[in-house]
Structure 1
Amino acid sequence: MKKSNDNTAVKNITKITLLAAAIQAASIGTVNAQEDGQSYDLGLLEEVIVTARKRSESLQEVPLSVSAMNTEELAINGTTNIGDIQSQIPGLTAYAARGTSSTLTAYIRGVGQSDPLYGVEPGVGLYLDDVYIARPQGALLEVFDVERIEVLRGPQGTLYGRNTIGGAIKYVSKPLTNEHTGKAEVTLGDYGRRDATLSYAMPLIENELYGKVAIASSTQDGFGENRQTGSEVSDKQVTSGRIALQWEPSEDLSVKVAADATKDTSAPRGGQRMIENPWEATIPAMMALTPDAVIGGLPVYYAANVDAFVSANNLAPLPVSDDRYDVDSGLQGARNDVSTYGGSVIVDYSLNEAWDLKSITAYRNGDSDGTIDFDMGPLPIADVYGEYKDRQFTQEIQLNYDNNGDWQAVMGLYYIDATAGADIKNYFLLAPVYPVGHPLNPAPADITAIIPKYASSVGDVVTESYSLYGEASWQMTEQLRLTFGGRYNWENKEVTTLSQDFTDATFSTVLATETDFNDDETWTNFSPKLGLDYQLNDDTMIYASVSKGFKSGGFNVRAKQVSNPESAKPYDEETVTAYEIGVKSTLFDRLILNATYFYSDYKDIQLSIFSQSSDGTFFGDFTNAGEGAIQGVEVEFTAALTEAFTISGNLAYLDAEYKEYLDGGIDVADDRQFSNTPEWTATVNATYNHSFNHGGDLVARLTYSYRDDVIPTTDLSETIAQDAYDTIDATLAYTTADSAWRIAIEGRNLTDEEYRTTGYDLRGSGAPIVQGFYGNPRTVALRVGYHF
């Protein structure tokens, strides 16, 4: 990968030195995983209990591809939001979407959704304490007051009421107990980072009513600035809070009421212009010239005359950015304001020793105001102002069975009523060149024109869905277990959208109506699952499964009904059939080694594609591309080489290819690649734990992560594509003998690797606009926490 600085050699030497140190430390030994109250002893290793299958089980006994990070693991990893767990979970890609700070883009095993378009279902399900979060806006959750995060890979429809075609991310907060517990933590770091969290849990009525409150504030100065205005970009201003009450009037009944809210007022993210923009020169030139002709009522200029004026007056194109974060935006009123909140009531009732009934009632609300300057230049060439809203009500009735013998089962009914809407205003100042022979050019020479376009798009997508799901496990013999299940889904979507062009920036006089329709469509689906697992001995289990996943279809709210009539029709649902075999083993009480091979048959893949409409302006299509096949191998390991040293990590191989990709009726599968699907990823953690004679503990971790080449967008832009890169993180933490104080120094991306996570390439729509968004630079922070 090409660097924008001159210290590449120094950085590579640093990587080699740090990696050598990690290997040397690993050759000496490894450390105990920290106990989190959810574990049991396995010699030098400890194992987390998870609820991936809606019941408490040892992670090593679950015949699924599931990973979990508990409180201690999240702390030593320096996790601040869900995106920070990416390197620790094989097959996971998670980052902030394009120009935002808190909108989540998530992929698991090549299945996900990169375009945070309202009304589109995500490919990866996100759950906050069993409550499904339907929209990506505000879904890049801050990590605080957390018990663990679980990531399930592959379709999970028989266990979860909502669509989880690619997998599920479960955020499990700290439980309420009969003890007084609290934690206060402050983090100070580079770029003016100032984070603070405070949580406190207590019994309100002894052994009956418990309460908890937790708040978090994350503040950081910008990584870059807008050189036109001097304002910061890529900063962080996020405040979150949660409150919960749990009532246990008897041993059989528990009622938990919880609420949460997040406010994100971070400035828009800065990015890098990847190509120069000649329109920043040609548009001022045309404004200074007298039109050469009028064609179709539009003043036009001969391209040669414009070029001559540009040259004579030393008007220069806007160059490629010399920094990965600084911008030159002239966008007025740039903002990024995201507010989300929600509440839930969870009732657990034990019917008898075998049956438990659970009800989960939840409501969530989200409002987002945001701006995007696509060209990142002074002129309003492609400025977008958007207001988004999300409302969802969900109800789940769950029945769990466990006879403490041969049978365990979970079954449920799930209902969701969700509305996603937007009011978007586009300020475009286009300057396309129409060559001789172009349908819009009757002149004998190349022409160009200034096309001011003021377009508004207003719409709503209402989703109503019912699901019936269930999964059962039968212990056929002492060693062999059969798992089977299914999920039936009925889903209806109704769309209302109105797209209009206006005469000027006041958006008061309609020039033309491009799209105006109201439509609805219903989809039904049955997704089964069948699995077998066999316990070879006390330490090793092998398993195999086949399951289907489903994600409903929808409507393209960017449709151009007049110029592209097909775009107003609904797109189809997508499905995946996943085959998986795996092994989970605990060897010599010192090594946990889990490995999985999977093959996914992926059909009617939904993709967002930007192109040029027949009227010469932008067109964002959302359509079904065709079929694909994804196969891969995932390995996770933890090795306790001694009582003081641990080496852990993961390795993932993904082979994804299109079997069919229809573009204009032509199969171009051989020329297409999956986005957000690196072929190889790997992470190695070397951890050292030293206990002092006075009782304090010192923990040191060094993490090396590698990610292969990746193309983040469906246009397969080689300019935005990210070459293979690696990062190095480190943490040094001291905990006092009474476990009250924890002081940690955390370093992230220590070699200051420059890597893109995503971007835009709008050249296919006729605009000279390519921009890339980057991951965080090198940062160092001091974190101090007090438990009371």
Structure 2
Amino acid sequence: MSNNNNVVPGFRKKILPLAVAGLSSMSWVAAPQVFAQQSAQAMEEVVVSARRREESLQEVPQAVSALSGEEMLIAGVSDLADLQSQAPGLTVYPARATSSTVTAYIRGVGQSDPLWGVEPGVGIYVDDVYLARPQGALLEMLDVERVEILRGPQGSLYGRNTIGGAIKYVSRPIAEETEISLQAALGSYNQRDFKAAVSTPLTENLYASLAVGSFERDGFGENRLTGAAVSDKQLYAGRAAIEWRPSERWTVNLAHDVVYDRSAVPGAQRMVPNVIESFFSGAAPLPVSDDRYDVDNGFANQNNDTDNSGTALTISWEGEGNWGFKSITARREGEFNQAIDFDGGPYPIADVDGVQYDEQLSQEFQWQYSGERLDGVFGLYLLDASAGGVVRNRFGLPTALVAPGLESILGPTLAIYGASGGEVETDAAALFGDLSYSLTEATSLSLGGRFNREKKQALVLNQSMADEDFTIPTGQVTADFEGSESWTDFSPRIGLDHQLNDSTLVYASYSEGFKSGGFNIRANTVQVPDSQNPYKPERVSSYELGIKADLSETLRVNAAAFYSDYEDIQLSIFTGVDTTGDGNNDSFFGDFTNAGAGVIRGVELEYQWAPSEFFALSGNATWLDAYYKEYISGGVNVADEQEFTNTPELTYTVNGDFSFPLAELGRLDARLSYNYRDDVYPTTDLSDIVFQEGYGLWNAALVFTPPAESWRLALEGRNLTDEEYRNTGYDLRGSGFPIVSGYYGDPRVWALRLNLDL
């Protein structure tokens, strides 16, 4: 990452050598068997719905990536986190101390704080239904047709909280004939995955589908105090749909999905000794942990449960003329229980647990028009959402730290209990439209815009408690307020694209987007009075130039360059506070503020090359330069001292695909993949310990397909060299607590996967 404006040296140093060396990219990772069928013909057409209408990927004048269910098998993609290496500019991983809460960044824009009231910066959609909260959004690939990744602000069509981009999960459509598919996987750490899906007609014009999945695995580590599993997986999901097709022009689809996550608390490595432990034990503190997953957590509560469900009613109509209509009515609700032993040791120094709940009701009306020279969609979107909960903080401190005259007394002489609770209500409405007009046979002009109005109301009560059951208030209140704020925004988009020839499209575009403002549920208005004030929405304005080209029947290259102005950047920062008035920080709270403004610019490259029916090369590469223009801290602009989080300067993936015919026995397909991620700061405090140096991962897959293609057997391995790398972590030293922890990606794992199509 760089804080200067010099684009050319960084580009020459890191991008050009990779391009010369044949670095590939691929938003649509094609399976080897697909290449075997394409070697002597034009590249396969990929259909996406990025502009709310179905069209060829190569004809969409914006940066879009898409993976089909077939393609995800060979890439080893099992949930949204696995997409990280398969799309340019994408960062996806489980949020800190969780297993199914998603943290997503695209082109350096996102949000890592999953607390209610804090909005994500990347929109996640399930069949056009927006998921307002990140809990349970790290979706498993259950009965999926494809996943689309839209890069850059998507304000005009997708609205609020898509300033980084959007991830669309598209379920498999219900077939007109009975189809049954089964999948089982056994692997390391006693992995046991089972998926089943059936799609069948019920009557002449009534169809139904059902998909269920069970995903289990033993822990990567254990709690050395209790022997309990750490970082295991126990996730169960299901989706049912029924569809009525009264005529060729009408469809009515009712779908319901559920996710239950009962995985154990993820393990976090203790990265510095905690000297406070000595006041509890009279002995030296535990050393830095020698394992990335094993823990010594003494907090009795190890809850990490997530329940999510949703119901959607979609009514579609295709008119005889140029018009079509779609209505999407959806309701979703969820509950998330979490416990974090921040200190990672046996004593109650910093133990936190809580419960969050949310529900949302949304309604979207879309009108589509397709004419000889004009195509477009426009509509109305409404959202009524609420989210709330309570977080219970337990801080145990020795008297030596809170009463300097009593240093000789050992033991937890003071326990501080605090509860942060509240609720946020959101009412949002938007009018939107996006049109594409053919100026000539080769040139089109696109115009889009979305007018948003949003209102948030917050109720916050943060107070100290006298008992560990949090039933008796002490009367000391750190925040007690109600707040209400409204925002309006207009997000325009304009683009011009030109078809140079039948196989090459060039385009230029300008787009804007905004991410909702809000209120800090963790506010401490006694020590930090401004924490009661609402923080402002984020806004991004992005310029993009791109090309999509099928250079030959075997070579496809897509590339994009962009420049984004990023304003009112929202940051979550842990701040130490003195609750006893003795001059020492004895607690901390999560402050949430608008830091300032920045610039993110970059280049993305994608290609796939199939020189023969036996070999193909694919992958992706992204170079990003992100820097702050303004970062106000204590009234001073410290932009030169700051770095963007979750924004590696260089990432790339190289996939080598091989196909081996086995005569009458069938076919053997193989993939060897390497993906690299540059240095990155995962947290806003720019911790020198949590900081992750650049690293690379090797993955491989081997797939056997018999002649009938009714079943397939796949052997896959991930992180083959057992690379140790941190996704995220906590560093609370700036808050007065000697606590630093790191959360790591998966170790080396393998699985044997069987797919049956009946």
Query: Is residue 571 from structure 1 mapped to residue 569 from structure 2 by the alignment?
Result: no
- Residue aligning to 1:86: 84
User: What amino acid maps onto 1:426 in structure 2?
Assistant: N
**Structure 2, unpaired ranges of 5+:** 1-17, 580-584
Query: Is residue 529 from structure 1 mapped to residue 496 from structure 2 by the alignment?
Result: no
Q: 1:562 to 1:533 in 2, by over 3 A?
A: same
- Residue aligning to 1:630: 600
Shift of 1:619: 2.1
Distance 1:659 1:194 in 2: 49
Q: How does 1:262-301 map to 2 (within 5 A)?
A: 262-285=259-282
Distance 1:263 1:228 in 2: 27
- Residue aligning to 2:297: 329
- Residue aligning to 2:144: 146
Q: How does 1:156-555 map to 2 (within 5 A)?
A: 156-206=154-204, 208-285=205-282, 315-403=283-371, 405-431=372-398, 450-511=413-474, 512-555=476-519
> What whole-Å deviation, never above 9, does each CA across 1:174-216 have from its counterpart, x for those lacking one?
011211111111100000100000000011123x111100001
Distance 1:503 1:144 in 2: 46
- Residue aligning to 1:307: none
For the 8 Å contact 1:707–1:724, the answer to whether it is kept is: yes
Q: 3-state SS of the aligned residue for 2:640?
A: helix
TM-score (norm 1): 0.90
Shift of 1:513: 1.4
Q: 1:539 to 1:558 in 2, by over 3 A?
A: same
User: What amino acid maps onto 2:264 in structure 1?
Assistant: A
> What whole-Å deviation, never above 9, does each CA across 1:225-244 have from its counterpart, x for those lacking one?
00000000000000000000
- Residue aligning to 1:690: 660
> What whole-Å deviation, never above 9, does each CA across 1:336-374 have from its counterpart, x for those lacking one?
111000000000012332110100000001011111100
Distance 2:418 2:681 in 1: 30
Distance 1:171 1:433 in 2: 54
Distance 2:223 2:428 in 1: 44
Shift of 1:506: 2.6
User: What amino acid maps onto 2:83 in structure 1?
Assistant: I
Distance 2:471 2:307 in 1: 28
- Residue aligning to 2:4: none
Distance 1:216 1:603 in 2: 42
Distance 1:42 1:211 in 2: 39
Shift of 1:45: 2.5
Shift of 1:446: 12
User: What amino acid maps onto 2:438 in structure 1?
Assistant: Q
Shift of 1:614: 4.3
User: What amino acid maps onto 2:256 in structure 1?
Assistant: A
Q: 1:427 to 1:574 in 2, by over 3 A?
A: same
Query: Is residue 727 from structure 1 mapped to residue 694 from structure 2 by the alignment?
Result: no
Give the length in aligned residue pairs.
Answer: 727
Query: Is residue 597 from structure 1 mapped to residue 573 from structure 2 by the alignment?
Result: no
Q: 3-state SS of the aligned residue for 2:691?
A: coil
Q: 1:445 to 1:222 in 2, by over 3 A?
A: closer
For the 8 Å contact 2:89–2:107, the answer to whether it is kept is: yes
Q: 1:751 to 1:356 in 2, by over 3 A?
A: same
- Residue aligning to 1:123: 121
Q: 3-state SS of the aligned residue for 2:155?
A: coil
Q: How does 1:677-756 map to 2 (within 5 A)?
A: 677-694=647-664, 696-756=666-726
Q: 3-state SS of the aligned residue for 2:202?
A: strand
> What whole-Å deviation, never above 9, does each CA across 1:296-316 have from its counterpart, x for those lacking one?
xxxxxxxxxxxxxxxxxxx11
> What whole-Å deviation, never above 9, does each CA across 1:566-610 have from its counterpart, x for those lacking one?
101100111010000011000111111001000000000000001
Distance 2:633 2:94 in 1: 29
User: What amino acid maps onto 1:726 in structure 2?
Assistant: G
| RMSD over equivalenced CA pairs, Å | 2.3
TM-score (norm 2): 0.93
- Residue aligning to 2:111: 113
Query: Is residue 777 from structure 1 mapped to residue 747 from structure 2 by the alignment?
Result: yes
Shift of 1:120: 1.1
Q: 1:478 to 1:612 in 2, by over 3 A?
A: same
Distance 2:209 2:622 in 1: 39
The runs of 4+ residues in structure 1 deviating greater than 3 Å are 22-26, 30-36, 39-42, 431-434, 440-451
552-561 or 689-698, which deviates more: 689-698
Shift of 1:701: 0.3
Distance 2:756 2:31 in 1: 22
Q: 1:702 to 1:773 in 2, by over 3 A?
A: same
Distance 2:479 2:89 in 1: 39
Q: 3-state SS of the aligned residue for 2:334?
A: strand
Distance 1:346 1:24 in 2: 42
User: What amino acid maps onto 2:671 in structure 1?
Assistant: R
Shift of 1:509: 2.1
Distance 2:114 2:629 in 1: 26
- Residue aligning to 1:11: none
Shift of 1:42: 8.4
User: What amino acid maps onto 2:509 in structure 1?
Assistant: S
**Structure 1, unpaired ranges of 5+:** 1-18, 286-314, 435-439
For the 8 Å contact 2:557–2:608, the answer to whether it is kept is: yes
Shift of 1:736: 1.5
User: What amino acid maps onto 1:46 in structure 2?
Assistant: E
- Residue aligning to 1:10: none
- Structure with max Cα Rg: 1
For the 8 Å contact 1:432–1:767, the answer to whether it is kept is: no
231-240 or 44-53, which deviates more: 44-53
For the 8 Å contact 1:161–1:412, the answer to whether it is kept is: no
Shift of 1:114: 0.6
Shift of 1:430: 2.8
Q: 3-state SS of the aligned residue for 1:205?
A: coil
Q: 3-state SS of the aligned residue for 1:158?
A: helix
Q: 3-state SS of the aligned residue for 1:713?
A: coil
User: What amino acid maps onto 1:362 in structure 2?
Assistant: A
For the 8 Å contact 1:682–1:707, the answer to whether it is kept is: yes
Q: 3-state SS of the aligned residue for 2:73?
A: helix
Between the aligned residues of both structures, percent identity stands at 52
User: What amino acid maps onto 1:420 in structure 2?
Assistant: A
- Residue aligning to 1:675: 645
